[in-house]
Amino acid sequence: MASSKGSWAALALLLLVALASTAVNGDHKLSAGYYDKTCPNVQRVVRRVMAYKVAGEPAIAPAILRLFFHDCFVNGCDASVLLDGTYFSESEKDALPNASLRGFEVIDEIKSVLEHNCPATVSCADVLALASRDAVTMLGGPAWSMPLGRMDSRTADRDGAENLPSPRDNYTSLVSTFRERGLDARDMTALSGAHTVGMANCHNYRGRIYGTDGDTNIDPSFAETRRQTCPDGDNEGGMAPFDEQTPMTFDNAYYKDLIARRGLLSSDQALYGSGGRQDDLVEMYSRDGKRFAKDFAKAMVKMGNIRPSKGTTLEVRLNCKMVN
């Protein structure tokens, strides 16, 4: 009898734990000290793995930063972009704008270490948020206190991922897209400075350099240079750096490129050339790297606070590729 009661008690405890690990919306307030008691070494673990990976392949840093953007812009920062597809559900990884995403294995490795140190505690969404912050810092950019406490979605939204901002978007479309996520034009302009590092595929800028996007705000010599590695037509073409001056340094050269009409994507160049306050902002960032760094860090925190939509079922995943 006592053994039976003990079994029922153990089962009840397991059920309580399972229920506690799943929530709807995750409405608690994010805090930089969220894991201070439950996983005090979380930031050290993330930084150590990121440092090792970036030392071996510096290009992984902008890739991780891009992952964070693509996650937060589809139903909030909930690690939905990390989920693999199953027989029953599609994956955001299969959406066209996400076809060139990489760095998933880095997040998986960080999560594996954390599961060993602090089982079922740190969300994949928080791992990605911290890794993106460290990616920026390791490329010479600013550091900032990242609020934590996000939870992981149990579902992906491939349709939402298909509607991420396009490299051909004009200024009005960009402002609208960012505003829908609670980000204003200044946030948008600062966050776009992430394109001071990393590379883009030829098909994303081909229309700009050949004029088929209707974008004429381009330096002819820049267009000619880019055409050397990005042929017209349906040919594959190569990659090009967003910022040709310092492609792997997180600085304000991106804005200098915009003023020189050497933005790689049409959506980059859309930030400059129409006059008014928007041009003033780009010019300020081009002159004042510290101001840009400060605004970028502030905007990253703001973007990182985008919550999943109401009714989203959340949990702390044990494996970032799949739901529990």
Look up residue 68 and give its amino acid: F
Active site residue 70: yes
Q: What is the Cα gyration radius of the chain?
A: 21
Give residue 222's Cα distance to chain centre: 28
pLDDT of 275: 87
pTM reported for the whole predicted model:
0.91
**Distances 67 to 101, 105, 244 between C-alpha atoms, Å:** 7, 12, 22
Mean pLDDT, range 204-215, rounded to an integer: 89
Is the pLDDT at 141 greater than 80? The verdict is yes
> What separation, in Å, do the N-terminal and C-terminal C-alpha atoms of the chain show?
33
| pLDDT tens string 265-281 | 999 999 999 889 999 99
CA distance 270 to 205: 13
pLDDT of 234: 72
Is the pLDDT at 2 greater than 90? The verdict is no
pLDDT of 320: 98
pLDDT confidence bin for 239, thresholds 50/70/90? very high
* In the chain, % of residues over pLDDT 90: 84
pLDDT of 19: 44
CA distance 215 to 202: 16
Domains of the chain: 22-164+306-315 (1.10.520.10), 182-302 (1.10.420.10)
28, 70, 116, 203: the catalytic one is: 70
Q: Which parts of 215-288 fold into alpha helices (H)? A: 220-227, 253-259, 266-269, 276-287
| pLDDT tens string 164-182 | 999 999 999 999 999 999 9
Binding residues for Ca(2+): 71, 74, 76, 78, 80, 92, 196, 243, 246, 251
Binding residues for substrate: 165
CA distance 84 to 93: 7
| pLDDT tens string 102-112 | 999 999 999 99
| pLDDT tens string 36-94 | 999 999 999 999 999 999 999 999 999 999 999 999 999 999 999 999 998 888 999 99
Is the pLDDT at 198 greater than 60? The verdict is yes
Is the pLDDT at 24 greater than 70? The verdict is no
pLDDT confidence bin for 204, thresholds 50/70/90? very high
